[in-house]
Chain A
């Protein structure tokens, strides 16, 4: 991968909607994890989802505020789980297998108990 290409990847993939194989919205790509060392090729390891991934993107005070409200959870989506990227990022498997939508599922169970939900 050319150096320019990796920079393009960050600007074009970060902040895109992530959709799982069942068509459900399961978060935004909040950051990208790279692997590599000086002299070795830089490779994309994972997409990071969740408020914990804001750490490098927000001023420290703003991150602390977000963490106080929403916690610091980060879900890691291995790059190989990405099926295709258009204006959205499509995953090859269901969200649950990648540790996504846990809060969503808990809430859904609670709401199902309420009549007419």
Chain B
């Protein structure tokens, strides 16, 4: 029974922790601009994160190797550094976007100044990570992030043309797009893939598996958590898209700010719905801020071979602690420069997809290596899916920056 509760909690935490500010922004904007036509991009990217998440958990359980240890061994010092530095930069930009997002949501709730709220949010998160046992933090933020289910309830309450929505699962380019809009549509496809496959999620997940001493007996839990947890989490993001397509698109509302997405809940459920949605967003974004910040610390610590671990007290892994404190400080400094959170989200998605191929290559190589994985080596399906997604990611990485420039970040 204890095992069942553990698995259920793990899945619920994965659901609650799936959506972050980039998914909020891009899901709502996708629905508002392109109707249901980008649902397939979320579904496709979700299969990708399931494949790589499962693989990283399995490698952690069997080879006992975290991602950046693998990267150092497989890519060497020079190419490894070339991956580490942009990966940390992307994590910090993402963390800054999450902190900015928290401040925006809190501003809607309190009316206080944005920069003050960013400082208070960062201080609060740092104090929480410093003082509380990590299991608590993970469960509290993951489970309270389930308030985001409000958006699923919204989709059930409004009149969604489900047949049309289901047609969005088929990969497509919507008819009637102008030649200017087609690159924007392509940019959104790349951005959604990047937002769902953010590298920090894999660093965080596999590092956690090592700290919890996963072994072969945990492989089923790994599979269930990634398949069920990530799929249900993706449903949240797709609900945001569907709601935006039904509620915002006819009114030509472009949800540029995360707060606009919360209005979806106000339409059917009034003030209570709005508050539930805002609190759900706040906890989901806060959880992601903690994950991105810790992921930076994991990356650096594992690459340099330092003592690391979120379950350790700060003085037991001091350089790791210093690394996450520094990440929070730099992220806050970025927010205080006044760069709008939406711009930070766009930088994060563009640069993370450029880093993704280097992040996933060592993982794919180890997962198919019988010397490390014994009988738990990749099967044919994992290999085909893994390398297939890897090829798509490489193409997306090449296209990301030109599309960002040509479309002014999808604005054209």
Q: Residues on A close to B: CB < 8 A? A: 15-18, 24-28, 30, 49, 54, 57-59, 62, 87, 103-104, 107-108, 110-112, 114, 116-117
B127 CB, min distance to chain A CBs, angstroms: 9
Task: Please state if B73 and A15 are interface contacts (CB–CB under 8 Å).
Answer: yes
For A57, the chain B residues whose CB sits under 8 A away are 76-78
Q: Are B77 and A30 in contact (CB under 8 A)?
A: yes
Partner of A27, one of B78, B80, B305, B322: B305
Query: Are the CB atoms of B77 and A54 closer together than 8 Å?
Result: yes
Q: Could you tell me the distance between the alpha carbons of A108 and B303 in the complex, rounded to whole angstroms? A: 20
Contact check, B319 vs A116: say whether CB atoms are below 8 A apart.
Answer: no
Most B CB within 10 A of own CB, among A15, A16, A24, A58: A15
Cβ of A30 to closest chain B Cβ, rounded Å: 7
- Chain A residues near B308 (CB-CB < 8 A): 25
Docked Cα-Cα span, A62 to B81, in Å, equals 10
Q: Report yes or no: B305 in contact with A108, Cβ–Cβ below 8 A.
A: no
CB <8 Å contact, B64 and A104: no
Docked CA distance A39–B229 (Å): 62
Bound-state CA distance A102–B76 (Å) is 25
Among listed B36-44, B153-161, B285-293, B309-317, interface-contacting one: B309-317
Q: Is the CB of A15 within 8 A of B76?
A: yes
Cβ of B307 < 8 Å from any Cβ of A? yes
B318-A111 in contact (CB<8A): yes
Q: Residue on B with the closest CB to A110?
A: B318
Bound: A16/B73 CA distance, A: 6
Q: Which residues of A contact B313 (CB under 8 A)?
A: 117
Question: How near does chain A come to B26, taking the closest CB pair, in angstroms?
Answer: 35
For B313, the closest partner residue in chain A by CB is A117
Kindly list chain B residues whose C-beta atoms are within 8 Å of the C-beta of A103.
319
Indicate if the CB atoms of B315 and A111 lie closer than 8 Å: yes
A87-B65, A108-B318 are known contacts. Are A27 and B304 too (CB-CB below 8 A)?
Answer: yes
The interface residues of chain A lying within 8 Å CB-to-CB of B78 are 57-59, 62
Contact B307 A25 (CB under 8 A): yes
Given contacts A25-B306, A59-B78, A117-B130, 9 further A-B pairs with CB under 8 A are A15-B73, A18-B305, A58-B78, A58-B81, A87-B64, A108-B315, A111-B314, A111-B321, A112-B315
Complex: how many Å from CA A18 to CA B69? 11
Residue of A nearest to B316 (CB): A108
A23 closest partner in B (C-beta) = B307
Produce 1/0 per residue, B93-121, CB < 8 A to A: 00000000000000000000000000000
The complex places the Cα of A84 from the Cα of B248 at a distance, in Å, of 63
